[in-house]
Amino acid sequence: MRRVKLTKQEKAVENALVQGEYVDVSKKEFDSIANAIALRRKDAVLNIRINSKDLHNIKRKAKKLGVKYQTFISEMLHRLAEV
């Protein structure tokens, strides 16, 4: 059998699963979670030009939050669009 090398994140999920940190959810709750994920699927591309200082500040804030800057920008645009 061929061994698969897991990433750090995959290994963390595997360890959590083995340790029983995950619990079963009802079909209704599972469907609700799956629907929420599907609604947040990114299916469009946007290219913009911004001031380099603004980009630097965005990257700094994203790093402070522990997320990638493009994910941070996407989330901010989503929140703005939902208002």
Give the tokens for residue 61. 């804030």
Q: What is the pLDDT of residue 50?
A: 96
What is the spatial distance between Cα 76 and Cα 83, in angstroms, rounded to a whole number?
A: 11
pTM: 0.58
- pLDDT tens for each residue of 6-44: 899 999 999 999 998 888 889 999 999 998 888 888 889
Burial of 59 (0-12, 13-18, 19+ CB in 10 A): middle
